[in-house]
Chains A and B, each alone.
Chain A
Amino acid sequence: MSDILETSHAIGVDSPHAIGVEAIDIGKRFGAFHALSGVSMKVRPGTVHGLLGENGAGKSTLVKCLLGYYRADEGSFLVDNHEATIERPADADALGLGMVYQHFTLVPSMTVAENLVMSRRDVPAAIDWRSELNHLADFMRSMPFKVPLHAEAGSLAAGERQKTEIVKQLYLKRRFLVLDEPTSVLTPAEADEMLGLVQELAHSGQVSIVIITHKLKEVAKFVDEVTVLRRGRFAGAGAVRDLGPADLTAMMIGEPHTPAKPERVGNATSDIRLSLNGLRTAEDNGRAGLSIDTLTVRAHEIVGIAGVSGNGQKDLVEVLGGQRPIAAGTMEVDGASYDASRAASQAHGVRVLPEEPLRNGCVPTMTVADNLALRSFDRDGTGKPISWLDRSGMAARATQMIAAFGVRAPSAQVPIGVLSGGNVQRCVLARELDGDVRLLIVANPCFGLDVKAVAETRARIVAARNAGTAVLLISEDLDEILELSDRIVVMHGGHVAAELPAEGADPQEIGRHMLGHA
């Protein structure tokens, strides 16, 4: 450890601006729940520091304490080697500590310039836009990356928004910056570019950076030192070049572990399950609608749709799930016209696992058992319509599904809205995989799940494929697409930009298609 100390210090020597931060024995309770106990982290000035851990490990809680959103119950913070009292966000602000959130905090309807100026503490009562814009243009010239000042923040692509957030922090003269999962919405090329620039910024001594992440590839490439948390406790720390991926994973989940790649059985048949032709949707709020000429999914096949968030994938899921009307074109399932109505989806065995399943696939105030029966409550065992609900049958099936999918719920009779995100996900997956599923549409199935739940969900999707289901997988996580798909379709601007076999696919090439470059 001692030589790390020296190297890192050497980096910090010619960095008059960046400040170091140290968290010592931080503890935080929410009621009886110990979110953090005795956690320490030392970030040296002018370094990129990785804060690692699984979901629920306490990473967010720790940085929220540091930034004044929560008050730590125990422990203390040293900022620039002085003990600091941080009780409000304004305190962190005054010390030059800032954070870029995973959920962006730009105001969508305001321009980048308006967002930047309004983020300042000393905004004048009346704003002289001419001088502010001149000043901003000067400032932008000194930045490593450019963002369009006059564009509305809501119209920026995710990568540009991320850059704007970072530029905003530098505009505010932050000297210590936390980035919360900064690459989760970026393409591989964008992510590499952004992290490279962030690393340069840190090593040039302008700012110290903490990156919250669980992508080990990024850690190996761009991070100097790490702190690992596990279940609210300190699990390890060190310089990245001394630690391999296996060590980091071991620290994160307690034992060396590599997720087993689900085994694929059987090849795609010629049996076309889903076929879209000339599909168009109306433009929405200035964003172009869908324009898909052909897209097919066959039995025994997973087709992965890759794309940067906001390029029509969400619209496609909404169209197939019956949430968005089409303007032109045809949808066919098993050769028959499909209008995404309840009757059609029941007749053809079409199931959808939408993103944000609690919002898009559940009635939050109804019970777990009722939600599990949403697909089938009005049919009897043979598929005939019934008008008198079979309550005991519903409860029995719910109990079965809860056991089969390992849902952790106090009982089947609590509102589904009280369950955690992972358990809601399991419930909806259980419901959508129940019975004869001929076509399964899944959107970002592993968003916000922990490592174990991710492996489990992916295994179930592959199992459905192996059993002959046609699967359309829409995901913003390119690694997930590469791992699960038989065939990859890239979407850009509502179009199909490319289609290629998953076997031997090159992530860089896919990334170029995602940006519309190739």
Chain B
Amino acid sequence: MIDSLATVAFSMLAGSLRVSTPFLFVSLGECLTEKSGRINLGNEGALVLGAMVAYATSYETGNPWLGVFAAALAGLCLGALHGAICSLARVNDVAMGIAFMLAGTGIAFFFGKPYVQPSAPLLPGISFGFWSDSAQVKNALLVSPLFLLGIAAALAMHWCFKSTRAGLRIRIVGDSQDAALALGLPIDRTRFLATAAGSALAGIGGAFLSLYYPGSWNEGLSSGQGLMAVALVVFARWNPINCLYASLLFGAAGALGPSLQTVGVTWGYYLFYATPYVVTLAVLIVTARGGTSLRGMPGQLSIGR
């Protein structure tokens, strides 16, 4: 019994290392955009489009890293368009985000049809399990370079928001339009850049899906992970380091079903598969308790004004 508990815990940890990366990239991207005072629900579209573009580029060029770059670029373009349209007067960023979510996935499905069958070169993993003889441990500690890149991005973004001119300017624009105007900061341009850069990160998250794990391109690849990452930013209180922890937690929750299967729990596979979604719901319910406002929320977000 204790043995199987340990196995479940271990494979949840392994699973969390394996599947948290897309959550991490999308939530970091969303965190950046929301810090500037705008919401981009279109990051789900950027994730799916990024996955498709990465896979296609890797297949055509034979270089998965070019795929990652192309995915970031695809996300950047989608985000730039979202940012530019939302800079116009009376455009609602939430509605526009939903449009971009559908547009992004639609474009990806349309151009991605020919790439469902062929197999593209994938990203290599970095092994941290060299010290162990167990194949299971070795396998679990095989970490994607993108995961490490994501951790670096979280740390860098945290430092940016604390100690750089650009980071503090983004916070000012996101938190107080009056202050930003008084300081003469370019509000629309800041939000445009933050949205574009945020979507580029979401695109990289998509590259992970198609080029590392699960490591193929099909239409059911994302299953709403980009949207969940938005909830995750709320959970993380708009703090990049918390985004990292929250992503790991969501990853572990997602690994619950497969982990239970390894110890022979065969019933309710699909039920456990839904754990991350249940966690999302629970997080939103807990954080949205009535009568109190959210701590840490950028003051200019359209849902909070």
Interface residue ranges, A against B (CB under 8 Å)? 88-90, 101, 103-110, 114, 117-119, 123-129, 281-286, 324-325
Contact = CB atoms under 8 A, between A and B. Distances in A.
Given A282-B292, A285-B292, 9 more contacts: A106-B179, A117-B168, A125-B166, A129-B163, A283-B292, A284-B292, A285-B294, A285-B295, A324-B291
Contact of B299 (A109, A117, A128): A109
In the A-B complex, the 6 residue pairs with the closest CB atoms: A105-B182, A105-B179, A123-B165, A284-B292, A107-B179, A107-B176
B165 A127 contact: yes
11 contacts: A101-B182, A103-B178, A104-B178, A105-B181, A108-B299, A109-B171, A110-B168, A118-B165, A126-B165, A129-B163, A285-B293
A14 to B, nearest CB: 32
Nearest to A124: B165
Contacts of B298: 109
B252 interface: no
Nearest to A104: B178
Contacts of A109: 171, 175, 296, 298-299
Interface string B148-178: 0000000000000011111011011001101
B114 interface: no
B132 to A, nearest CB: 41
Contact of B165 (A88, A101, A125): A125
A286 B295 contact: yes
A107 B167 CA distance: 14
A123 B184 CA distance: 14
A119 B182 CA distance: 9
Interface of B: 162-166, 168-169, 171-172, 175-176, 178-179, 181-184, 290-296, 298-299
Contacts of A324: 291
Contacts of A285: 292-295
B163 A127 contact: yes
B292 A110 contact: no
Instruction: Select the residue from A108, A109, A126 with max chain B CB neighbours within 10 A.
Output: A109
B293 A284 contact: yes
A109 B184 CA distance: 19
A281 to B, nearest CB: 8
Nearest to A122: B165
A69 to B, nearest CB: 9
Contacts of B165: 118, 123-127
A128 B163 CA distance: 7
B172 A110 contact: yes
Given A129-B163, A284-B291, A325-B290, A107 B184 contact: no
Contacts of A284: 291-293
A119 B181 CA distance: 11
Contacts of B179: 105-107
A283 B295 CA distance: 12
A118 B172 contact: yes
B164 A126 contact: yes
A118 B184 contact: no
Nearest to B168: A118
Contacts of A282: 291-292
A448 to B, nearest CB: 17
A126 B299 contact: no
Contacts of A90: 184
Contacts of A107: 171-172, 175-176, 179
A324 B183 CA distance: 35
A471 B292 CA distance: 28
Nearest to A67: B182
Given A89-B184, A107-B179, A108-B176, A325 B291 contact: yes
